[in-house]
Amino acid sequence: MNNRILSNFEIVESLVDEIGDQKLTELSKFLGNRIKSPDSFIVLFGETSSGKTTLLNGLLGEHLLYTSVSPSTGAIVEICFDDKINVLEYYAINNDASIERLDKEIFDELNKNPDEMLNRLKINAPKKFAVDGALRLFDTPGYGSLIDQHEKVLMNILPESNLLVYVVSYKVGIQQDDINFLKMAAEVITEGTKIVLVINRVPEEAVNGDIRSSEIEEYVSDFLHYKPKTILISNELCENDEYPLPKCNELWNYVGHTINAEESQIELEICFTKYIFGLVEHCEHVIIKKEIQVQSSEIEKKEIKGIVDELRRTQVEIQEELIKPTFKKLIEAMPVKLDNASLLVGKAINSKIDDSSKLNQDEMLTYINQYMLSNETSKEMQIIKSYIELTLRDLDKKIGEKLNIALCRIEKTIELNFNDAFVKLSKNLIKKSGGRILEASVLNYFKQFAGRGGTGIANGAKHLLKKAGDMFGKTFSRETHNNLAKFLSKVGATSAKAVGIGVSVIIETLFIITDLLTWQKKLKKATKKGINVWKNEVVTILTEDLEKLKDENIQLVNDEIEMWVSNFTFDESAEDITIVSVEKLKQKLEEVKVDIEYKGEDDE
């Protein structure tokens, strides 16, 4: 990491130490750890037996990870590198956020047969194994083998990734499972994520490229809407007809070059500079609170309690009058809207079948399965997504309006009942609440996802700070928009997965069509069955996801209210706070701003 970034962090850290606030110290500690260890996320994915785990074993130089040519459930395995250890360490990270040290035998067994408690497995490896650069590698099961829990974990990893390595077997090529998964992945992969296509086990005569490799590359580019870097790895066998550990120098050199590229480093520096400036704003927020506390009279402190009570009432009203009724309406609407969508999809496909030649049954089956079912359901889902988005944006607006009304009443209360000095400090406190956003976007973020036991997986370099505006005229849209965007992208992925299930049902129902006179009728019947499977799958998952999104919205409101409540909640046990000590902190703050060339919102 850039020495200037580390130096600036250490300057701010010295201010944090002087302030002596527990949460601020905790925040600084987590931020410092991430600045000192800015890992890039590299995810390998592909179908079972494509050879992706063997590629990782080749990088590590040992058969560390379990491999199998037959489908198995398997677990997601995270590999981290630590220059302080000399031997491999094995861990299980569970869904309840607990972490267990494992021996190799139990690790291998969980890798083959993960239990319901497991979120992912983790290996800490000595630094000698690592590619040049700080990175975390994720090996994923073949997606035909994914159980639901691990699919959710994988769908959370993909948006956080800096680089994706998609491994395809030259011999097997792109199959229906690949198509289904690529469509899902395309919905959640974030802009700026690099993708590498590895075509594995290529015959020696085709290592420089051929028509089959070009076709695989074209398929992947079409489904991901992105032209990946393509690397061909030759097919080598040992004397016992087993695959050796491949060195894959071209792949790992590309990985190292990508994560160490100047543009990647610049992105990291911008990200961490914003984090450090946010930490400064948080320091200023705490200092202003201390100043208000030492300057407030007992009467003013009683008035402050009334402000807190007003915020709590608003919190309950938003939940009961806005959030819960809106999501109830959405959840009840989903079966009706999906019923209508399935009828329109069926009508469009039946019309196409009726127009087809009696002799084109094979071509029509292929056309429906590979294109039309996906295309028609996608069009209908776009309409449903728009309905959900409009409904939730309207909810967002109403929440913002209700918050603003409450906050404006608080502003009026402060102006009428407090002295000029308190009013000035309070407005400054509220304005500087931008630093409080750092607590939500870094402290909770890294605390939950730092990989030391947190069940989620998150990449600090992919998340810049969200700016906070003035208290007055403020909108509630910052986090809700992020959650909404994530939810809507998942809606597309959900439908894509359900289409794949529907296609399987159509194929299973028909198997082989031989009757030239009745194939159209049979195909319509099979298609109707497949569409119903798609509809039911989407309704079930959308209902579950809307329930989760409701809970997230309630939590966001709670977090928002708690942030404003904390503005007017003071530590009465802190007897050492004096006007003199606060003035010293204010002076130190100004010195820190000069030293790190601080730029706040007003300076940008």
Q: Which residue has the tokens 């994988």?
A: 154
Quick check: 110 and 121 in contact, CB under 8 A?
yes
DSSP 66: -
3-state secondary structure 69-129: CCCCCCCCEEEEEECCCCCCEEEEEECCCCEEEECHHHHHHHHHCCCCCEEEEEEEEEHHH
Which of 389-398, 423-432, 503-512 has the least mean pLDDT? 503-512
| pLDDT for 500 | 66
Alpha helix (H) residue ranges in 189-297: 211-224, 249-259, 262-295
Query: Which residues does 306 contact at the CB level (< 8 Å), separation at least 6?
Result: 413
Residues 4, 121 within the same domain: no
DSSP letter at 46? E
Rounded CA gap, 97 and 452, in Å? 9
pLDDT at 91 over 90: yes
Q: How far apart are CA 157 and CA 381, in angstroms?
A: 24
pTM to 2 decimals?
Answer: 0.63
Tokens representing 30 are: 């987590």
* Tens digits of residue pLDDT in 295-343: 777 777 777 788 888 888 999 999 999 999 999 999 999 999 999 999 9
Sign of the C-alpha dihedral, residues 411, 416, 417, 423?
positive
> Rounded to 5 degrees, what are φ and ψ at 96?
-90, 10
The Cα–Cα gap between 391 and 330 comes to 8
Q: Given 211, 244, 260, which residue is the final one in a domain?
A: 260
Instruction: Give counts: helices (H), strands (E), the chain.
Output: 19, 9
Q: b/e for 189-215, b at 16 or more Cβ within 10 A?
A: beeebbbbbbbbbbeeebeeeeeebee
| In 16-84, beta strands by DSSP E | 40-46, 77-82
Residue 120 dihedral angles phi and psi, to the nearest 5°: -165, 165
Are residues 472 and 358 both part of a single domain?
yes
Task: Examine residue 446 and state whether it is found in any structural domain, yes or no.
Answer: no
- For 528, the enclosing helix (H) or strand (E) is helix 519-567
Give the pLDDT mean for 98-105: 90
Q: Mean pLDDT over all residues of the chain?
A: 78
Distances (CA, A) of 357 to 108, 331, 370, 446, 511: 54, 42, 19, 60, 20
d(CA 281, CA 285): 6
- Alpha helix ranges (H) inside 296-419: 298-317, 324-355, 361-367, 373-417
- How many whole angstroms from its chain centre is CA 258? 21
Q: Which residue type occupies 236?
A: E
Is 203 found in the same domain as 74?
yes
The dihedrals phi and psi of 229, each to the nearest 5 degrees, come to: -70, 130
366 C-beta neighbours (distance < 10 Å), count: 12
Q: Are residues 548 and 415 in the same domain?
A: yes
373 and 489 co-located in one domain:
yes
Q: Does residue 48 share a domain with residue 30?
A: no
Average pLDDT over residues 194-219: 88
Radius of gyration of the chain, Cα coordinates, nearest whole angstrom: 28
Lowest mean pLDDT among 200-204, 337-341, 484-488, 527-531: 484-488
Residues 436 and 562 in one domain: yes
Per-residue confidence band for 588, with pLDDT thresholds at 50, 70 and 90: very high
- Token couple for 468: 């906070």
CATH number, domain with residue 191? 3.40.50.300
Q: Give me the pLDDT at residue 206, please.
A: 85
Query: What is the average pLDDT across 212-238?
Result: 85
The total number of structural domains in the chain stands at 3
CB neighbours of 469 closer than 8 A, spacing ≥ 6?
A: 475
The per-residue pLDDT for range 9-45, each reduced to its tens digit, is 999 999 999 998 888 888 888 788 778 777 788 988 8
CB atoms within 10 A of CB 298: 6
- Does the residue 192 lie in any domain? yes
Structure confidence at residue 19 (pLDDT):
92
Q: What is the pLDDT of residue 484?
A: 60
pLDDT grade for 134, boundaries at 50, 70 and 90: confident
Q: Kindly state whether residues 81 and 188 are assigned to the same domain.
A: yes
Q: Specify if 451 maps to a domain.
A: no
Q: Is residue 409 part of a domain?
A: yes
Question: Any idea of the CA torsion for 352, 354, 359, 365, to the nearest 10 degrees?
Answer: 40
pLDDT digits (tens, 9 = 90+) for 251-269: 888 888 888 888 888 878 8
Do 253 and 317 share a domain, yes or no? no
Q: What is the mean pLDDT of residues 349-364?
A: 78
- Clarify whether residues 385 and 505 are in a common domain: yes
Host domain of residue 238 = 38-260
Measured at the alpha carbon of residue 345, what is the angle toward residues 340 and 348, in degrees to the nearest 5? Answer: 125
If asked whether residues 18 and 127 sit together in one domain, one would say no
Which residue has 């990291």 as its token pair? 268
199 lies in some domain:
yes
The DSSP H or E segment spanning 445 is helix 444-449
Contact between 291 and 19 under an 8 Å Cβ cutoff? The reply is no
Distance between CA atoms of residues 136 and 129, nearest Å: 12
CB 503 within 8 A of CB 373: yes
- The answer to whether the Cα torsion of 574, 579, 583, 586 is positive or negative is positive
Bridge pairing between strands 135-139 and 89-94:
unpaired
| Domain assignment of residue 449, yes or no | no
Strand 99-102 and strand 40-46: the pairing is: unpaired
- Rounded to whole angstroms, how far apart are CA atoms 9 and 21? 17
With a pLDDT cut of 70, the percent of the chain lying above it is 75
Tell me: do 343 and 393 sit in the same domain. yes
Asked if the structure places residue 211 within a domain, the reply is: yes
pLDDT value of residue 560: 77
pLDDT for 507? 62
Model pLDDT, residue 249:
80
Given the structure tokens 């994706």, which residue do they identify?
164
Q: SS3 for 195? A: strand
d(CA 375, CA 369): 10
Whether residue 450 is contained in a domain is answered as: no
